[in-house]
Structure 1
């Protein structure tokens, strides 16, 4: 498996390259829809031509994701996590998904998508005035970006690297030679990774909503952190690939099911 580490990392980075090429168009499209004045100012002050910016962003994300994935697969091995499906692609083995695991991943993804869109539709839009000014709508660009960028790069960062690192540290400190690491430490790692991911959205949340009121902060941590609990559990119990599937189906269910249904 060690000889295949760089191949797995390269495959993941190539997927992230697609996501990287889509991030800027998606962000600009979203900004144009919600804040047209800021969009016009940004376009006027853009430091690079549009095409050059796309290529630069895609290349940067591919390089970063390769490095992170290469480190992550080694941490995952030390922490005892599985990437069996990805490794089977390069070890001349039959690719075998756990059907129940796949179904559970899809279910968790749909639940996370419901909480995110439903939370805004049925609660937060009544608490945060600016949310009532615009309504989300189906976006093919948002769907594809979410699947490739969110579903793969964010899982590399938060599960393959962050969660693996935490569990490996916990094993070094707390695991006795003849016993397994207690489940509580996995849950601690899952929660920490989810909270860190949500906290990373605070600057963007502040830029969109202005003042970080209690409702805005609660929304940021709840809607950006809920998925991480599901994805972290799947990474622990089933493997990295199942966390990716669940994350992808979160975006798929949001765009194809809950946004059309609720809006």
Structure 2
């Protein structure tokens, strides 16, 4: 990398750090309700999720009035223009730079792809988040950009409005207002374009809205930029009239009353808990992989570089697969009882200690069966196990922990759940024992196939050895899969851990003693 490029990276990192510090200070001061960094991650996932999925309009909820604000907006045309610009610019830049500076070309390509996905997700979020009226409460979620909730009793007046301009021609940007507009305000400020302002809703007292990164913002009015706002305005006036005709039990108006809590895509606390466990697993397994397979030398990396590379790889892979697993798991029934009870600070509904002992026993027995089977077939297949370099016992423990967490997250939590979800898509109905065991066996088979490269690096592969490899890994895969579906992912991890301890720690120690 040249000096100019390094300086650019340093500047970007510095800007990011300053931005992170500002967010943290605002969070500590109470200007941001939730942890801003978790909010940013959640927002990015939401946008990426909506860029690929959820293009089908949502079904209308019962007893909920919905009004779309994106129809007729300039955002659609600006969205198309920017989308085309990003696609063309990304292709041209990549073709031009890939020969001159491949690194910059790849970085710019990634940024262009991200911006395209971001725009797709943002527009789709706006499409799928109309204004909602639930009883006398109004929920205004403008995608994931900002949100406001108010009660009919908090409205002072509703009146026609229009955009004002300075004498110089510049647009007047009012403060302490909530914009109900599909067109992002940042584009309005940059390009000076805006949808036509039709109405303004003035509140009796300042209300608290939420902006980017969950920042709190006091607003006195809401500006309506809808192409056809009349149905919404009529509904609002009707609700206000109904409210004033009601006999109120209390003089206080609570705009959060009767509002159905917006259902989260996934259990984010469980997601981050599992993600942290996977990163810890990656850090644990790295020294084992270095000592056993010298993978850092194979990749031409130092030990620290390999560890960092592997941790980032797991972070990316686990981040995606865990999200998908928890999302589709809402339909298939993901079981993470211990983590959920820990998050909820409640007593688990299952006997945890008993299940831990059972899982440890099943894992140990699976490990013993695998060792016995390996000894049984090794001589006929001409396999010399002495060529395998098992590292120190403590590295084996670290490796066992890492493999248990990482592999169970991928092959059981994600893959078994995904296969069951596919079966439910193909044939509607309930989750039958057949579907469960089909998913368990299919994931165990894939689990075995994925170990091919490791086996091939130590032995000359034959059909007999390949089948034996599938059986060896299939034994563990079936045991772990059954524990996942019938007990929970934590117990599958425990069984995997004890199985690996038996195979990679206790087995070699006993072999040396004998």
- TM-score interval (norm. to shorter): 0.7 to 0.9
Other structure's SS at 1:119 match: helix
Other structure's SS at 2:344 match: coil
Which residues of structure 2 form unaligned runs of 5+?
Answer: 1-262
Bigger radius of gyration? 2
Could you tell me how far 1:96 is from its partner in structure 2?
5.6
Asked if 1:63 is matched to 2:63, the reply is: no
User: Which residue of the other structure, out of 459, 475, 479, is the alignment partner of 1:230?
Assistant: 479
Asked if 1:189 is matched to 2:439, the reply is: yes
Could you tell me how far 1:192 is from its partner in structure 2?
0.4
Match in the other structure for 1:143: 397
Other structure's SS at 1:198 match: helix
Asked if the contact 2:397/2:501 (under 8 Å) is kept, the reply is yes
Asked if the contact 1:17/1:62 (under 8 Å) is kept, the reply is yes
Could you tell me how far 1:243 is from its partner in structure 2?
1.1
Match in the other structure for 1:14: 276
Deviations 1:50-102 (A, max 9, x none): 32221222122123212221221222221123222211222232346524432
Other structure's SS at 1:82 match: coil
Q: In structure 1, how many angstroms separate the alpha carbons of the residues matched to 2:465 and 2:305?
A: 35
Identify the structure with the greater strand proportion: 2
Other structure's SS at 2:384 match: helix
Match in the other structure for 1:35: none
Aligned 1:96-245 pairs, distance under 5 A: 97-98=350-351, 99-133=353-387, 136=390, 139-147=393-401, 149-176=402-429, 180-210=430-460, 212-245=461-494
Q: In structure 2, how many angstroms separate the alpha carbons of the residues matched to 1:72 and 1:201?
A: 22
**Normalising by the residue count of structure 2, what TM-score does the alignment of the two structures yield?**
0.45
Large movers: runs of 4+ above 4 Å: 1-4, 132-138
Asked if 1:261 is matched to 2:514, the reply is: no
Other structure's SS at 1:81 match: coil
Q: In structure 1, how many angstroms separate the alpha carbons of the residues matched to 2:306 and 2:388?
A: 28
Greater RCO, CA 8 A, separation 6+: 1
Could you tell me how far 1:157 is from its partner in structure 2?
0.6
Asked if the contact 1:138/1:260 (under 8 Å) is kept, the reply is no
Q: In structure 1, how many angstroms separate the alpha carbons of the residues matched to 2:301 and 2:388?
A: 30
Q: In structure 2, how many angstroms separate the alpha carbons of the residues matched to 1:152 and 1:96?
A: 23
Match in the other structure for 1:92: 345
Q: In structure 2, how many angstroms separate the alpha carbons of the residues matched to 1:134 and 1:160?
A: 30
Asked if 1:82 is matched to 2:331, the reply is: no
Q: In structure 2, how many angstroms separate the alpha carbons of the residues matched to 1:156 and 1:250?
A: 16
Asked if 1:26 is matched to 2:288, the reply is: yes
Q: In structure 2, how many angstroms separate the alpha carbons of the residues matched to 1:97 and 1:258?
A: 32
Identify the structure with the greater helix proportion: 1
- Please provide the CA RMSD for this pair: 2.6
Distance of aligned partners of 1:251 and 1:189 in 2 relative to their CA distance in 1, 3 Å threshold? same
Q: In structure 2, how many angstroms separate the alpha carbons of the residues matched to 1:2 and 1:103?
A: 34
Could you tell me how far 1:195 is from its partner in structure 2?
0.3
Asked if the contact 1:118/1:262 (under 8 Å) is kept, the reply is no
Q: In structure 1, how many angstroms separate the alpha carbons of the residues matched to 2:268 and 2:493?
A: 19
Q: In structure 1, how many angstroms separate the alpha carbons of the residues matched to 2:270 and 2:473?
A: 27
